[in-house]
Structure 1
Amino acid sequence: MRVRDKGDRGVVQSVVLFLGVSVLSGALAAGLAIPFAGLAGFGTEKTAETLQDLPQDLKTIPPSRRTTILTSDGKLIATLYEQNRQPVTLAQINPIMLKAIVAIEDDRFFQHGALDAKGTLRALIRNQNSGGVQQGGSSITQQFVKLTLVEKANASSDEEAIKDATADTYERKIAELRYAIAIEKQFSKNEILEKYLNLANFGDGTYGVEAAAMHYFRVHASKLTLPQAAMLAGLVKNPTGYDPTNNPKRAKERRDTVLRRMQELNVVTAAQAAAAIKTPVLNGPVLKILNGCANSAYPFYCEYVVSKLLENPGFGKTSKDREHYIKTAGLTVVTSLDSRIQAAAQKSISEHTKSDDQPIAAITMVEPGTGLVKAMVQSRAYTAGKDDKHKTAYNYNVEKTYEGGYGGFQNGSTMKAFTIAAAIQAGFPINYRIPSPSPIPLSGVKFKTCTGTTSDPDYNPRNSTKSPPEPTMIEAAQKSTNTYFLQLSQRVGLCPIAKLAESLGMHNAQTGEPLEQVISMTLGVGLISPLQLANAYATFAARGKYCTPQLITSVKNYKGRSLNTPGPSCKQVLTPEVADGVNAVLHEVLESGGTGSHLKFGRSDLAGKTGTIQDTKAVWFSGYSNKLAAAAVVADADLPYTKLMGQRFDGRTMNDASGSGTAGPLWETAMQGALKGMATTKFTPPTDKTRRGDVVDLPYVNGMNPDEAANKLRGMGFEAEIAPGQVDSEEVQGTVAYLSPRSEDGAPEGSKVTIYVSNGSKIQQPPNPPNSPGIPLPPNPPNTGKPGGGGKPGGGGCPVWNPNCGGR
């Protein structure tokens, strides 16, 4: 087979051009596929005019290629394409394939120019004799032109252009001829053949010889055998009709026709052709390259990744343009998903849920300090169609920023972590005590917001667990003491809590708006996604370094060149000292006495927080080590939302639902599997200043008139408040029993200090002396908590203003 040089074809091309103008009216081109009689009235003048109006060359575009999405460790997540194609060079195609396609489609391809006049006339005569289209006369170059025009029309998404590119008209035939002449000038025969084999439709959803070879025979195009090459060569004439997966008999007949033609042309011997004819058309099951996220092992994660790709303006001006680019550009997208960690999270879902559960369960896992989303799983299976009872198109782990995002759940007491962080940031010590009765009257109590104050006219919240009467911040976190954190949030202010939460990526997952500043904010507010919560808690693990969640780590084009994509976006939003304080508080939740103590495992330091929303419609556990953070939720996701108790979950009816007992095991199993094999890590201990807080001394006012004590505190810059009612105390009734925070603990400058008034119930009366019944003695001074004094005015630590000292 001799390859003609570009320069050798000038004469032929001139002849072809002449034929195109003067003979086309005699049906040279139209005879390719249209009966001769149809040319009546289509004259030379119109033909020449059409040719002159056409551009002198045809601008080709790279053939569309399939895009692959991979895990961080190189495993396939999904393949995206409009046409399943993987272009290759001519050197990557077995020569027998080249011979087969030329033999059956254009055996004089290397001898003629753009138009094979001899072949066209032969086809015309046969078509006219038969009264129909029995043989095509288009050269491989003309076929390539047609494929290119269709490809360009598809790329433009122009419906009119697509229609014109496939219209069965004389104008299209003439246009293809003119373009074919230009193509023959622009490319060598080998280049045209390579481009043609990469564009051609080979049936059953495959385009290009490489994708076809892998699909039908599970081999690369370079390894094709004679019968395999013959079958593929036969397909291009009628990809649907000769598809061996639908019609193996017709496919074999067509393949054998190709083999016999190759024998006629002495491309193969009679023995080779006979042996190939005896082979089955397929030698095993075809290899399906499944298209789209719906066919992925990780469909929800995949769709979320695609939504992020569609946000990249570098991929096109409109969403439609970007979608077309992503599916045709042959990109390699590497994601943050770790298949080992994903498997650990999926194992947790499999162990703790059932496919027919009424509530849903979801887990997201994030790497602290990078924002890399390592795993994302949920209990309901994926369906691309309408939700049914046990399948869904919703991704329960993410915000509603794209069509598949569910948009979160109210997050319950996991919100207390942000109150803790804001309190530590404001200088409150981690041993800060607040009397925390249950219930507590907060009706009408004002809480400061960023724009003023807010209150609730009827609010008397209570604790859901048994707590110390006056817990520290650590004890309150361990027991999730609602009344403690409500009071703490009032003292810190809702604005600092809201701003801190916002800096950690917390916003309404439905609307994208900031979290609402209401007095119950610390007990859960708005709608939060597991991804948001896991990533926010990862900030504590990273010692205050917040990173935007990252799902895509690199995108490369088919040439291996990296494309601009949003990379890591991290910033320090909390000082390491504040984060260390939060870690110290939340670490105790998983230690003895904490609500999450039964979830502790391994030797690494762990921290976390439970969350249960009102009426237990959703329960959470979110926690972390230095290596990984995860949020797990179990929730009712079907309208009308009802409490979890009474619903079937994990194969049984729930009598109780809680963050620690329902969501906690999901978190524990996922984290335990994910951290397996990782190095043991410990949190950085908080500094003494963080433990003690940035506090100033409080005056000792026990036994003082409450109003005078309040004025004294206000004079020092504190916000003083006298608590309603009276408390048990050894101080005289009506005087100051104690402060909150305690005098010995101090308080942040300018913070709120509550004055509690004594009812005098614990004043001790000494027993009557022996042998002197009924004769009272002067009362002994109570223990003031200060050294020395003994009740004498000015003595030791007893202030002269204390009435029990007798000095007032």
Structure 2
Amino acid sequence: MRARDKGDRGVVQSVVLFLGVSVLSGALAAGLAIPFAGLAGFSTEKTAETLQDLPQELKTVPLARNSKIVAADGSLVANLYEQNRVPVKLSQINPIMRKAIVAIEDDRFYEHGALDAKGTLRALLRNQTEGAVQQGGSSITQQYVKLSLIEKANAANDPEAIQAATAETYQRKVAELRYAVAVEKEFSKDEILEKYLNLANFGDGTYGVEAAARHYFSTSAAKLTLPQAATLAGLVKNPTGYDPTNNKKRAKDRRDVVLRRMQELNVISAKQAGDAIKTPVINPAKIQPVPNGCANSKYPFYCEYIVSKLLENPAFGKTTKARDHYIKTAGILVKTSLDPRIQAAAQKSINEHSKPTDQAIAAVTMIEPGTGVVKAMAQSRPYGAGKNHTAYNYNVEKSYAGGYGGFQNGSTMKAFTIAAAIQQGFPLNHRIQSPPTIDLSGKKFSTCTGTTKDDDYHPSNSTDAHGDLTMVDAARASTNTYFLQLSQQVGLCPIATVAAALGMHDAQTGQPLKQVVSMTLGVDTVTPLMLANAYATFAARGLYCTPLLITSVTGYNGNPIKTPPPSCKQAIDPAVADGVNAVLHQVMEPGGTGGRLKFGPSDLAGKTGTINANLAVWFAGYSSKMAAASVVADAQPPYKNLIGQTLDGKKMSDASGSGTAGPVWQTAMEGALKGLPTTRFTAPSDKTMRGDVKDLPFVNGKSPQEAVGILQQAGFQAEIAPGLVDSEEAAGTVAYTSPRQRDGAPEGSKVLIYISNGSKGGGQPPNPPNTPPTIGNPPPQFPNCPPWHPKYPKCGR
């Protein structure tokens, strides 16, 4: 057979098939299903099966809409979408836009049914003659059906359905036709046009006429002009090819085709068409991009953390993938705790005290006490993959994909030791002899499951303060040897329990903090978010609140969507928190390690933190209205000493909590508290100040063995301190105890016995007692804190 004969037969077959489809449209409208047997043998059996298997109505998925994350004041944090779309009613679309799309896509839309047989036949004949698709023959209703099927397949992530919805086959056309008949039965022409204009792709990432109007012209669908409407109407045929941001000439040529078609149909006059053709197709200054995702947010790290929390919410889907799709297509409004004013203060502080090009990093988180509301989160390295950028959020835990996972917190851990000691009944002036260096090798520390020890441990102080110190003295100077002994007297379990109740855990693993001998000097890794929130609990008088970042989620219809509510509990007694505040307040007074950071009239409290080898330094502190934790650290393995690394563009000659991390905290807090009322901490009660103490037996001048027995019989643990001290007592006898006899001590607590060298007296030691020593007897277990005994109020103040 000649090639021409084959071509002629192909055209005839296609025409016959099309006529069959046209006849079928009327049959379908009457609810019938007629197989195509006999129509030129063109896949008739498969076509008939397709028809019989199709449902009688088109089931669509909800339109994908833009979701938004906003700050506490309603300002935009980020847009989240798979398709940039803002659905509108037909009444919100300028009539000229409706006329333009009908004129170019389906000028007989309001006259025909589901199928425009005349237009489709014309297109089919032209396509067959040209040997390729040159002209579309689908009605607006059929186009809407096709777009709906593609949308449904994409939503289900079904590759086969996507291929079926876009396949260039007559079977697909027939399937679309049957759906189109159903759509025309269910909806009016205006309703179909509204759905189509909201669903269609208008290029450059915009879907729906409203988003397109905003993007290309900085206007709304209701205010579109004639040339603007013609531009958008021309886009739907080839959204990429006619995109005016890609090719102005092609876009203008296509727009002018629409305008001339509107003139041919007498929709507009020749003058209107001519005037519109003379206008530029687009004004670049009016193009309004719609940034998508957290990477384009002003607050990218905060935004990503919010998204991670949304992905944990089962209300958005059964799987992470389903939740992600829902979040980006459901048109939800996520209101967050971010306070732009306080965030600006935090970022200003970071910018003042560090640079993105520094070797060290700086980060700070700010939280409102009593609510857990996370007000700000800032860091020195900006978001991105370029040089001096990072995808790590240095403020949050590692369980979140972008979370760095924290740094060891150093002496900020001492605050939890203070809280546990006060909870156990230790007075705020509890005294311990604290040398510059102490040998704790082999010393047992009680834990929640038994005891622990370090076989070779000789810790030293990082400051000059040493000697017979009170808890307040030791906190002001951050005296390591005091707090190590205090943690031994209190026990590691109470410290770990308090820390856990205040939200502290290992930010790398999520596991509880390890109970090790050096726990009070810093343990595992924690984050600025975690530490700021724990200290906020002290500020809120013991009320712990889970960090709150998402305050509400509403659907596009305004209905609330279930999200984890604020969660607060009384983690420690208010009286205990008052005691901690009183101690840490003194840290901020002149002479304390945080004294140089004091500002303003409000009461402030805080604590420094430095870890071994100066790999990280911290300052955590608060007023009654705001808590913050700042860190400066080496975040690039292998980790090195901060001394010698750059911060704020300069090499550090020293690294400390007060001098390095402290200024970041101070500047951020000053900005956050500016304009807020002056606040004071609640003064601790006498009971908290004096502690829940028992009288200590007087053992001065007695032999060490006898003193141990007397103290143990009275309900205390007893231990003989190494070495000798100057004393008036006879050499080899008890010089004094720590705590001192006049101060008393909590029942069950450890009492250190210091032995005199006799340097201030000349007496001889007494004969040893007949009773055997009881040094080896196991110490009594710590009881729960009993009620305060007014008969034991002794506390040297």
Note if 1:304 corresponds to 2:305: yes
Q: CA deviation at 1:20?
A: 10
1:3 paired residue number: none
Q: Report the CA distance shift for 1:424/1:614 in structure 2 as closer, same or farther (over 3 A).
A: same
Question: Paired residue for 2:394, among 393, 396, 407?
Answer: 396
Q: Which runs of 5+ in 1 are unaligned?
A: 1-10, 27-38, 766-777, 779-808
What corresponds to 1:162 in structure 2? 162
Measured after TM superposition, the shift of residue 284 of structure 1 is 3.4
Cα deviation, residue 764, structure 1: 7.9
Amino acid corresponding to residue 716 of structure 2 in structure 1: F
**Paired residue for 1:252?**
252
For 1:266, give the aligned amino acid: N
Aligned counterpart, 1:6: none
> Which of the residues 572, 575, 589 maps onto 1:574?
572
1:101 match: 101
**1:216 and 2:216 are equivalent in the alignment:** yes
Q: 1:257 to 1:708 in 2, by over 3 A?
A: same
Deviations along 1:31-73, whole A, 9 cap, x unmatched?
A: xxxxxxxx96425444333211100111122210011100101
Which sections of structure 2, spanning at least 5 residues, go unmatched? Answer: 1-22, 765-797
* Equivalent position amino acid for 2:232 in 1: L
Distance 2:103 2:755 in 1: 105
Q: 2:499 aligns with which of 488, 498, 501?
A: 501
Q: Could you list the per-position Cα deviations for residues 86-110 of structure 1 after superposition, in whole angstroms to 9, with x for gaps in the alignment?
A: 1111111111111110111011111
**1:164 match: secondary structure:** helix
Question: Normalising to structure 1: TM-score of the pair?
Answer: 0.90
Partner of 1:292: 293
Of 575, 598, 601, the residue aligned with 1:600 is: 598
Query: After the TM superposition, which residues 271-290 of structure 1 pair with which residues of structure 2 at under 5 Å, given as runs?
Result: 271-285=271-285, 286-290=287-291
Q: Amino acid of the residue matched to residue 438 of structure 1? A: P
Cα 1:17–1:124 shift into 2, 3 Å? farther
Residues 766-785 of structure 1 show CA distances to partners (whole Å, capped at 9, x for unaligned) of xxxxxxxxxxxx9xxxxxxx
Instruction: Check the 8 A contact 2:615/2:641 in 1, yes or no.
Output: yes
Deviation at 1:126, TM superposition (A): 2.6
Partner amino acid for 1:329?
A: A
Equivalences for residues 139-218 of structure 1 within 5 A = 139-218=139-218
Q: How many Å apart are 1:314 and its aligned residue?
A: 1.0
8 Å contact kept, 1:357–1:649: yes
Shift of 1:604: 0.5
Moved over 4 A (4+): 15-26
User: How far apart, in 1, do the equivalents of 2:135 and 2:696 lie?
Assistant: 102
Structure 2 residue matching 1:553: 3-state secondary structure: strand
Residue number among 666, 678, 699 corresponding to 1:701 in the alignment: 699
Match of 1:483 in 2: 481
Q: Which residue of 2 aligns with 1:316?
A: 317
* CA–CA separation in structure 2 for the residues paired with 1:583 and 1:207: 56
CA distance in 1, matches of 2:258, 2:24: 28
Aligned partners of 1:21 and 1:47 also within 8 Å = no
Matches of 1:19 and 1:673, distance apart in 2: 72
Q: Percent identity?
A: 72
Secondary structure of residue in 2 paired with 1:49: helix
Query: How far does the alpha carbon of each residue in 1:745-774 deviate from its partner, in whole angstroms, 9 at most, with x for none?
Result: 110111111111111112289xxxxxxxxx
Number of paired residues? 741
Deviation at 1:264, TM superposition (A): 1.1
1:417 — aligned with what?
415
Aligned partners of 1:71 and 1:337 also within 8 Å: yes
Secondary structure in 1 matching 2:723? coil
> 1:20–1:177: 8 Å Cα contact kept in structure 2?
no
C-alpha displacement of 1:22: 6.8
Q: Which residue of 2 aligns with 1:116?
A: 116
2:381 matched residue in structure 1: 380
Task: Give the conservation status (yes or no) of the 8 Å contact 2:502–2:544.
Answer: yes
Distance 1:448 1:43 in 2: 83
Partner of 2:777: none
2:647 to 642, 646, 649: 649
Structure 1 residue 162 displacement after superposition:
1.8
1:560-613 per-residue CA deviation (whole Å, 9 max, x = no partner) reads 111000010110010100000000000011101100101000001000000000
CA deviation string 1:674-701 (max 9, x = no partner): 1101111100000000000011111222
Q: Distance in 1 between matches of 2:31 and 2:170?
A: 15
Within a 5 Å distance, the mapping from 1:256-271 to structure 2 comes to: 256-271=256-271
Structure 1 letter corresponding to 2:206: T
Instruction: Give 2:682's aligned amino acid.
Output: T
1:271 shift after superposition: 1.1
Is the CA contact 2:466–2:479 (under 8 Å) kept in the aligned structure 1? Answer: no
Within 5 Å, which residues of 2 pair with 1:66-77?
66-77=66-77
The whole-number CA distance in structure 1 between the counterparts of 2:331 and 2:497 is: 42
Q: Measure, in 1, the Cα distance between the counterparts of 2:364 and 2:741.
A: 44
Residue type matched to 1:124 in 2?
L
- Deviation for aligned residue 1:402: 1.8
Deviations 1:127-183, CA, capped at 9 Å, x for gaps: 334343221110000000011011111111122222222222222211111111111
Equivalent-residue separation in structure 1 for 2:211 and 2:662 (angstroms):
47
Residue by residue over 1:251-305, the C-alpha shift from the partner in whole angstroms, topping out at 9 and shown as x without a partner, is 0011111111111111111111111111110123311001110111111110000
Write the deviation string for residues 379-407 of structure 1: whole angstroms up to 9, x where unpaired.
01111x4xx55111110100001210100
Counterpart of 1:659 (choices 646, 654, 657) is: 657
Letter in 2 for 1:615: A
Corresponding residue of 2:226:
226
The alignment status of 1:14 with 2:21, answered yes or no, reads no
Counterpart amino acid of residue 169 in structure 1: T
For the Cα contact (< 8 Å) 1:61–1:152, is it kept in 2? yes
Equivalent AA in structure 2 for residue 336 of structure 1:
S
CA RMSD across the alignment: 1.8
Report if aligned partners of 1:69, 1:332 keep a CA contact under 8 Å in 2.
yes
Distance 1:764 1:624 in 2: 53
Output one character per residue of 1:646-686: Cα deviation in whole Å (capped at 9) or x when no partner.
Answer: 11111111111000000000000000001101111100000
TM-score (norm 2): 0.91
Who is 1:721 aligned against?
719
Separation of aligned partners in 1, 2:443 and 2:44:
94
Distance 2:501 2:41 in 1: 75
| Match status 1:344 vs 2:345 | yes
Distance in 1 (alpha carbons) for counterparts of 2:620 and 2:171:
67
- Do the aligned partners of residues 25 and 587 (structure 1) sit closer, same or farther apart at CA in structure 2, a change above 3 Å counting? farther
Does the CA contact (< 8 Å) of 1:363 and 1:633 recur in 2?
yes
SS at match of 2:607: strand
Structure 1 match to 2:731:
733
Alignment partner of 1:610: what SS? strand
Measured in 2, the distance between the counterparts of 1:280 and 1:171 equals 42
Task: Indicate if the aligned counterparts of 2:35 and 2:47 stay in contact, CA closer than 8 A.
Answer: no
Task: Check whether the contact 1:504–1:539 (CA below 8 A) recurs between aligned residues.
Answer: yes
AA matched with 2:302: Y
Cα distance in 1 for partners of 2:43, 2:413 equals: 81
Q: C-alpha separation between the residues in 2 aligned to 1:20 and 1:253?
A: 44
1:541-690 matches, within 5 Å, as 541-690=539-688
Whole-angstrom CA distance in 2 between matches of 1:19 and 1:720: 97
Within the candidate set 437, 440, 451, 1:439 is matched to 437
Which amino acid is the alignment partner of residue 639 of structure 2?
A: Y
Structure 1 pair 494/43, CA: closer, same or farther in 2 (3 Å)?
A: closer
Of the candidates 533, 558, 580, which is equivalent to residue 535 of structure 1? 533
Residue of structure 2 in register with 1:806 after alignment: none
Contact in 1 for aligned 2:477/2:592 (Cα 8 Å) = yes
Separation in 1, partners of 2:659, 2:510:
31
Q: What is aligned with 1:427? A: 425
1:239 maps onto 2:251 in alignment? no
Task: Quote the Cα distance in structure 1 between the aligned partners of 2:30 and 2:582.
Answer: 88
Contact 1:25/1:47 (8 A) holds in 2: no
Amino acid at match of 2:689: R
